[in-house]
Structure 1
Amino acid sequence: MSGVWLRPGRPARTGPPLSRDRIVAAAVELLDAEGVTGLTMRRLAERLDAGSTTLYWHVATKDDVLDLALDHIFGEVELPTGEAGSAGDWRADVETLLLGWRAAMLRHPWSAALLGRPMLGPNVLARTEFLVSALRRSGLVEPDLGAATHGLANYVIGSAVTLASARPEDTDSGPAAREHLAAQADRYPALVASGHLDDRDWDDTFRRGLTYLLDGLAARTGSG
């Protein structure tokens, strides 16, 4: 049986007051500070002031820690409750969820590198269930439902990956890059005219793009 989500939990053990919740919280702090490459089981044990043997009692592998940490940050994404989360405005629900998901990923830039891992944690599954349910309320059915779910998820992930991977030197080279493009305006007139390399409000850009996507889904289903 492979993966932390597919193995039964171990019974509580007497000794230092170490718990899976404490381990995950410390792992997220370490990942925020050092990124994925900075997380090792030795460094995590040191941060927890625990021995490696004690740590391995609670989590079998580093991969387990990464899976738990990734699911933990999905728990930061609030789900609309009450009427809006059951039978209300599907579009508002989807927008709220996706904006929250992107914000959580930007608070924890390392998360973008882990999204190819098995996404079977309770927080991930609850939010995916919410997204699919909201899209079903719009009138979407398979195969359009699956395409819309993955398309919206990929839009969020793509935005977060792009911003998370941006380097300071890339921003510093902005004027030179714009001059390089402007010098070739005859070859790239649309890019130059649109200010392709100009600085912009990326939050506003994301919201606009999301609006276009949701407009398309609404038109597809006639749900307004």
Structure 2
Amino acid sequence: MNKKTVTRARRDDTLSRERIIEAAIDLLDREGERGLTFQALSAQLATGPGAIYGHIANKADLLTAACDAIVARAVMAPLDGATPQAAIRAVALALFDAMDVHPWAGAALIQAGGKMPVVRILECIGRQISALDVPEPARWASACALVNYILGVSGQNAANAQLARSQGADRGKFLAAVANDWTQLDPALYPFTRSVAGQLREHDDREDFLAGVDLLLAGLVDQEVK
């Protein structure tokens, strides 16, 4: 065995699924999903594609695993002593922030379908819904409503931010321009849209997101009382 082979073997020995996933997350954060290739990942890990395939079956498996690592960190945060409502708010906000930092994760969650990243979120939210004493027949629909809202809004917010960054857009200027357009709409046809134009200009995405979570939680509590 020559020196080159020994060096490669030693590198491969230190390779693990966890190390591959962390490298994939770093690559996804920098290059997006299009930049995640086994060739690029091999170069980053200083190994060959074959060594990676020993741990990860394909790109879809890798993307799901990277997404699952992000989700696991968000939903496993300590929530000792928190009420079910507070726990749901905390998890929802953690996922919102995680997708803001890792904008590719929103699309990855959609692609993951019923796989582990989604299962983690569903289990975490579902347990809190059960703790709220929501009637059992309504728990599935309640969990779906919350999970779909969290993933949908978080993913869209991350996509919007990513698009703005790629175009070098200034959020404040963009919102001001849209708000100005709304004020020019026909008041007879768009009375509501005109009335909230000022709020659009000043709104906070995070606060709006949590307000939506609170509205859903209020409905769940009301359902429990009935």
Global fold match (TM > 0.5): yes
1:140 is aligned to 2:130? no
Partner of 1:96: 90
- The amino acid that maps onto 2:133 is G
**Cα distance in structure 1, aligned partners of 2:36 and 2:15:** 18
Q: 1:176 Cα shift?
A: 3.4
Alignment of 1:99-118 (within 5 A): 99-116=93-110, 117-118=112-113
Query: How many residues matched?
Result: 205
Partner of residue 210, structure 2: 207
The residue that corresponds to 1:10 in the other structure is none
Pairing of 1:13-92 with structure 2 (within 5 A): 15=10, 16=12, 17-77=14-74, 78-84=76-82, 89-92=83-86
- Per the alignment, residue 115 of structure 2 pairs with 120
Aligned to 2:190: 188
Q: Letter of the aligned partner of 2:94 in structure 1?
A: G
In 1, the alpha carbon distance for the partners of 2:202 and 2:69 equals: 33
Q: Which runs of 5+ in 1 are unaligned?
A: 1-13
Percent identity reads 29
Q: SS state of the match for residue 202, structure 2?
A: coil
Mapped partners of 1:211, 1:80: distance in 2: 21
1:221 — aligned with what? 224
Distance 1:161 1:183 in 2: 30
Answer whether contact 2:153 2:209 (CA < 8 A) is retained: yes
- Is contact 1:75–1:124 with CA below 8 Å preserved after alignment? no
Q: Deviations over 1:168-212 (max 9, x none)?
A: 248444343333222224221211112264231111111222111
* Alpha-carbon contact 2:79-2:87 (below 8 Å) kept: no
- The structure with the largest helix share of the pair is 2
- Deviation of the 1:83 alpha carbon: 4.6
User: Which one-letter code corresponds to 2:204 in the other structure?
Assistant: D
Task: Classify 1:43/1:162 alpha carbon distance in 2 versus 1 (closer, same or farther; 3 Å).
Answer: same
Cα drift, residue 65 of structure 1: 0.6
